Amino acid sequence: MNSPSIKHALFNRRMLICIFTGFASGMPLYLLISLVPAWLRTEGVGLKEIGFFALIGLPYTWKFMWAPLLDRYSLSLGTLKPGLRRSWMLITQVLLLITIAALGYLDPLTQIWPIAWLCFGIALLSATQDIVLDAYRRQILPDQELGLGNSIHVNAYRIAGLVPGSLSLILADSLPWQTVFPITAAFMLAGIVLTLSIAEPPRSHQQPTTLRAAVVDPFHDFFSRQGVQHALLILAFMLLYKLGDSMATALATPFYLDMGYSKTEIGLVAKQAALWPVIIGGILGGILILKTGINRALWLFGVVQIVSILGFAVLARVGEGLWLLGLVIGFEYLGVGLGTAAFVAFIARTTNPAFAATQFALFTAITAIPRTVASAGTGIIVEGMGWENFFYLCTVLAIPGMLLLFKVAPWNGDQS
């Protein structure tokens, strides 16, 4: 692609929309994986309970089950007729603003179950928003802009983590949680403004006329195209490729607190050291993929991911030290950025554009399983074997996904 084409692709309204979709999508997830664990820990909730809170993320793994509904039915909002995609976007974003703000009015020590159910509801709304935002983005982006648009979306997704993972933590040192959560929730207004200011996308294919067609056809297409055995290997790879990495970062904020860092230090150092390397890694990964191809990138970036997990073991052994904290986290999240760039490209290549909404929901739901089900027991593991040995275990668990590359993405087998 020549320079004028790149300039035109970068500076158009579609890329601006991708920034807002990424921000709106990332906000609720980072609230659940960064701010809520820090809130519970500072209020005296144990690691076991916080670890089990990972189960509230189960809707991210189930979302393919109701994704066909979002392809089939639009919501009626009175006199407002936003259309198929925008109706789902608007209702989920408004409800997310309300439910996130409500968290601050609950007491973690006496109302842990109401908090768990409310967080589960936030995850359900967030997963539903992800489905429709992914489908909307797939419809407005021409094929030649899919890679760039998704890269911008993912980077904005990461930047959204600054709000609950940094700003909100800093505010929590001087403000009550009843104030912090409504301030955090107010950032969902960015998504609402986006939804109200954009048009319903033109449909490249006919909307399913029956629920059966919306449910069955995407799955039949995937297994018939790939063959059952190879399709199952692809699904296993999507499950395992980031398993070790997801487990290593599942209790990151409680780990930093246990290492003796204050909430302000975590907000200023740890979160910044995670954000910018993951963005740089994503951009660098996208450039390197053009040179190496998707398959080789999965191999190279996967190795970096595995090695970077060991940095947390070093931090657990050495202990407190802000420079070491920034270095270890920076390298880890550089690996995360690189690995995610290749991983998302692989998922996009595997998806049939004709069934993008449901297939993309299925694939991303599978990739979310390690962050939810597998990570739920991390608190028990840490209490049983300590932080350092836990990170060694995460390193070992990252290897099976790499071995599956021999079958699903051989070194010289690029199709791109």
CATH code for the domain in which residue 168 is found: 1.20.1250.20
Any idea which residue has 């909100």 for tokens?
168
Which are the contacts of 193, defined by CB distance < 8 A and separation ≥ 6? 20
Q: Which pLDDT tens digits describe the chain residue by residue (416 residues)?
A: 443 355 555 667 888 998 999 999 999 999 998 899 889 988 888 888 887 777 887 888 788 888 888 877 878 776 677 788 899 999 999 999 999 999 999 998 889 999 999 999 999 999 999 999 988 887 887 766 666 677 788 888 888 988 998 899 999 999 999 999 999 999 999 999 999 999 888 765 666 667 777 788 888 888 988 888 999 999 999 988 888 888 888 788 888 888 887 878 877 777 677 778 878 887 777 677 767 777 888 999 889 888 888 888 888 888 777 888 888 888 888 888 888 878 887 887 787 766 777 888 888 878 877 766 666 778 888 888 888 899 999 999 999 999 999 988 898 876 54
Is residue 175 within 8 A of residue 62, CB to CB? The reply is no
Which are the contacts of 256, defined by CB distance < 8 A and separation ≥ 6? 265, 266, 270, 325
Tell me the backbone φ, ψ of residue 77, rounded to 5 degrees.
-120, 55
Question: In which region does residue 78 sit, left (phi positive, over 0), alpha (psi from -120 to 50) or beta (all else)?
Answer: left
Residue 295 in domain: yes
Q: Which two tokens stand for residue 141?
A: 């982006």
Residue 136 in domain: yes
Q: What is the pTM (predicted TM-score) of this model? A: 0.72
Of 157, 118, 119, 115, the C-alpha closest to 137 is 157
Residue 113 in domain: yes
Residue 338 in domain: yes
Residue 416 in domain: no
Dihedral sign, CA of 267, 269, 274, 276? positive
Residue 56 in domain: yes
Residue 414 in domain: no
Residue 123 in domain: yes
Q: Which two tokens stand for residue 192?
A: 């609402």
Domain that residue 86 falls in = 3-408
The domain tally of the chain equals 1
